[in-house]
Amino acid sequence: LEAKLKDDYRKEKEKVNTKPLGMAFVTFQNEAMTAIILKDFNACQCQGCKCRQEPRSSQFSENLHVYDWSVTYAPDPQNVRW
């Protein structure tokens, strides 16, 4: 039974690592820094459609597809399935 559980765990872990969720949680030093990032990336709402302001770019922006990102405050940790 233990060997089967370990094998099931290993298979599930391999499966999880091949299917990224497409999200990340980032911690900042303070609320002011968070506000700067949100302002830089947030989309404004224009009658139900997103109108994007151009975020600051870097040499990695294109590869990271930052123009497709949606940046918001994280949910409460109790509301996240870790």
Going from N- to C-terminal start, the domains of the chain cover 2-75
Q: What is the pTM of this model?
A: 0.50
| pLDDT interval class at 54 (50, 70, 90) | low
Q: What is the pLDDT of residue 51?
A: 59
Quickly count: other Cβ atoms within 10 Å of residue 10's Cβ: 10
Backbone φ and ψ of 10, nearest 5°: -60, -45
The answer on pLDDT for 70 being more than 70 is: yes
If DSSP codes are grouped into helix, strand and coil, which group holds residue 14?
helix
CA-based torsion, 10, 11, 12, 13: positive or negative: positive
The whole-chain average pLDDT of the chain stands at 79
